[in-house]
Amino acid sequence: MTHRFKLDLPRRPRRLRRSSALRELSCETRLEVARLIQPLFVKAGEGKPEPIASMPGMFRLTIPQLVEECRTLCSLGVSAVALFPKIEAALKREDGREALNPSNLNLQAIQTLKQALPEMTVIADLALDPYTTHGHDGLLDRNSGEIANDATVEVLAEMAVLAAHAGADMVAPSDMMDGRVGAIRAALDASDFENTAIMAYSAKFASAYYGPFRDAVGSKNAVSEVPLNKGSYQLNPANRREALAEVELDESEGADVLMVKPAGPYLDVIREVREATDLPLAAYQVSGEYAQIMAAAENGWLDLKACRDESLLAIRRAGADVILSYFAKAYAEDFAANAP
């Protein structure tokens, strides 16, 4: 069939989409392996890696296994990890005192990893939820039952100094207490750790997407079968302007890197933060984002690699400089396998 009709179009955007070479040439956003951070879970003792049922492909690792996993990550070009400990139940207390034990699991892991792989950037999480019996990110006021902001900040500052002593390159307060970035910066500087950076969880929302992570670190339903409500300190998912105010405060208090968490459901916030600051911006593709893609792929409903890569690219396109993602290793492996 012959078509004689022809539009008079001076611009035809499809010209640059005609071939893979042209599409590559006109690509606006690229996702490099070096921009990915792999979150890892560490456990005490020995034994095999412990699978996390709600996060297929993720494991709790002993410290020796953690070191070997990081060797592999380094070889793939993933040069930064964020560590999260699974504390034994017998060590948990209402006041989370194990967090300040200089020989606790997380600090041992940081020290061992930095000794074995000094080139690996190690990010230490600062929050009390792995250490408390109630599973909250801060200390509970016994009289009011609320999270005590200033008392929690005091503990977080001590945790930061301990992490720096152990060798952490960066500390990451994930608690959302008021004033914690300034207090942590002051404590680090006073202890001669001026070069230890702060990656602030600046816009961390009270999200329903954290469930698998809480399984992984053992903080889910710590008090009862009712899911924890962290809405008194984490951000309301409905609030965009409040998120920008939190970002501004963290920057003014000395944060080196800002973060939005979760990533995928908050691409609009990532974009607005990117336009509001010149600081490096991280975004955390959280456990629930990972789990839903994995579950759909396991059921044959989605193409795992295609959806994984599209989800990461969207976060990068929104403005994130770096992405914390449980997909980091798998993405790096595929990138290496397809390299010319």
Q: Per-residue confidence at 3, pLDDT binned at 50, 70, 90?
A: confident
For residue 118, count other CB atoms closer than 10 A to its CB. Answer: 10
Annotated catalytic residue, options 43, 230, 261, 329: 261
Distance between CA atoms of 165 and 106, rounded to whole angstroms?
12
Q: Which of 204, 220, 305, 329 is catalytic?
A: 204
Half-sphere exposure of 7 (CA within 13 A, CB side): 4
Percentage of the chain surpassing pLDDT 70? 97
What's the half-sphere exposure (Cβ side, CA atoms, 13 Å) at 178? 7
Q: Are 281 and 232 in contact (CB under 8 A)?
A: no
| Mean pLDDT, range 85-96, rounded to an integer | 92
Q: Give the span between the Cα atoms of 186 and 168, in whole angstroms.
A: 17
Residue 134 structure tokens:
């109630």
Domains defined for the chain, CATH in brackets: 31-337 (3.20.20.70)
| Least confident span in 105-109, 214-218, 295-299, 322-326 | 214-218
Task: Pick 220 or 333 by higher pLDDT.
Answer: 333
In tens, the pLDDT along 226-249 reads 467 898 999 999 999 999 999 999
Q: For 285-308, what is each residue's pLDDT tens digit?
A: 999 999 999 999 999 999 999 999
| Residue 228: predicted pLDDT | 73
User: Does the pLDDT of residue 27 top 90, yes or no?
Assistant: no
- The average pLDDT across 249-278 equals 98
Distances (CA, A) of 324 to 9, 84, 189: 43, 13, 26
The mean per-residue pLDDT over the stretch 102-131 comes to 97
Give residue 339's pLDDT.
75
Residue 274 pLDDT > 50, yes or no? yes
Look up residue 250 and give its amino acid. Answer: D
What is 45-74 written as a DSSP string? S-SS-EE-TTSTT-EEE-HHHHHHHHHHHH
The pLDDT, as a whole number, for residue 262 is 98
- Cα dihedral 178, 213, 236, 281 sign: positive
Read off the pTM: 0.93
- pLDDT for 315 equals 98
List 282's β-bridge partners, or say none: 259, 322
DSSP assignment string, 126-156: E-STTTBSS--SSPBPTTT-SB-HHHHHHHH
Can you list the alpha helix ranges (DSSP code H) found in the chain?
20-25, 63-76, 105-116, 149-166, 180-190, 211-217, 240-253, 267-276, 287-298, 304-318, 328-337
* Confidence bin at 220 (pLDDT 50/70/90): low
| Mean pLDDT confidence for 53-72 | 96
- Residue identified by tokens 């070889």 is 75
Structure tokens given for 181: 């970035």
Q: State the pLDDT confidence band at 216, using cuts at 50, 70 and 90.
A: confident
DSSP 264-288: GGGHHHHHHHHHH--S-EEEEE-HH
Mean pLDDT of 37-48: 95
Window from 13-17, 76-80, 103-107, 256-260 with minimum mean pLDDT: 13-17
Asked if 203 and 283 count as a contact pair (C-beta separation under 8 A), the reply is no
* pLDDT for residue 215: 83
Cβ burial, residue 18 (10 Å; 0-12/13-18/19+) = exposed
| CB of 126 closer than 8 Å to CB of 83 | no
Instruction: Specify whether 261 is catalytic.
Output: yes
From 313, 250, 323, select the one nearest 282 (Cα to Cα): 323
85 CB-near residues (< 8 Å, 6+ apart): 41, 42, 43, 104, 105, 106, 109, 130, 217
Residue 224 reports pLDDT greater than 50:
no
180, 208 contact by CB (below 8 A)? no
- Write down the mean pLDDT value for the chain: 94
Strands 59-61 and 80-86 come out as unpaired
Whether 204 is catalytic? yes
SS3 173: strand
